[in-house]
């Protein structure tokens, strides 16, 4: 198995990372919000998970081992393969996903890409105890309350319905004055999201 790869970024423009290691170009599937943080010829360290299938050997890469651990956990859930797991991780931070699971918040899980109500319930059922055992420093009791709650914010809901993931929607709306009218907040968010 491959634990990690260290090398130079060759390209990221085809939706995956091509990492040059000792003259060999490795194709590594990554979460898009991590993928867009690299630049050409940058020296990077990527945590790897190798998935072997009958017809292919596929590399999945992660900037940190915590995200790879979350990927490993998600792929243990019946009905969740590597592609769906990557989509889920692309939808929000690992710490937030863990909080949704621990607090049995299936409404927030359903907002993640590819997750329906039954899948969300299966994730909670199969992973709640495992996630609680991980040391993710979630500080559930002493968590600082953000300026808005995405569960109650119609602007987040609107951006999700337009195809944006909850992570991007929440991040962009944090930059916009919450006292603005909802249509103005959505308009400003769409400008920022380009």
Kindly state the helix (H) or strand (E) to which residue 10 belongs, with its residue range: strand 4-11
Quick one: pLDDT band at residue 137, thresholds 50, 70, 90? low
pLDDT above 90 (res 36): no
CA distance 114 to 165: 11
Q: What distances in angstroms separate CA 47 from CA 5, 50, 78, 134, one per listed residue? A: 7, 10, 24, 18
Q: What percent of the chain has pLDDT over 70?
A: 90
Exposed / middle / buried, residue 36 (Cβ in 10 Å: 0-12, 13-18, 19+)? exposed
CA distance 9 to 36: 12
Residue range 157-181, pLDDT digits in tens: 777 777 777 777 887 888 888 888 8
Asked if 29 and 86 count as a contact pair (C-beta separation under 8 A), the reply is yes
pTM of the full predicted structure? 0.72
pLDDT above 70 (res 47): yes
pLDDT above 50 (res 148): no
Residue with tokens 């998600």: 74
Asked if 6 and 18 count as a contact pair (C-beta separation under 8 A), the reply is no
In order of their start, the domains of the chain are 4-62 (2.40.50.140), 65-143 (1.10.150.20), 154-193 (1.10.8)
User: Token pair for residue 181?
Assistant: 């009218």
């Amino acid at each position: 198995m491959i634990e990690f790869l260290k090398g130079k970024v060759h390209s990221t423009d085809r939706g995956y990372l091509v990492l040059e290691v000792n003259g060999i170009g490795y194709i590594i599937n990554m979460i898009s919000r991590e993928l867009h943080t690299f630049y050409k010829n940058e020296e990077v360290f990527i945590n790897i998970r190798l998935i072997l299938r009958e017809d292919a050997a596929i590399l999945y890469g992660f900037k940190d081992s915590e995200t790879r651990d979350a990927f490993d956990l998600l792929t243990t859930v019946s009905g969740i393969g590597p592609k769906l797991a990557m989509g889920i991780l692309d939808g929000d931070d690992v710490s937030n996903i863990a909080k949704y699971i621990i607090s049995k918040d299936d409404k927030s899980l359903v907002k993640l890409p590819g997750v329906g109500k039954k899948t969300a319930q299966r994730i909670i059922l199969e992973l709640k105890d495992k996630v609680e055992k991980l040391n993710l420093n979630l500080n559930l009791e002493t968590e600082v309350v953000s300026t808005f709650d995405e569960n109650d914010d119609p602007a987040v809901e609107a951006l999700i319905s337009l195809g944006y993931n909850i992570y991007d929607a929440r991040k962009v709306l944090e930059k916009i004055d919450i006292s603005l009218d909802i249509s103005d907040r959505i308009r400003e968010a769409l400008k920022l999201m380009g």
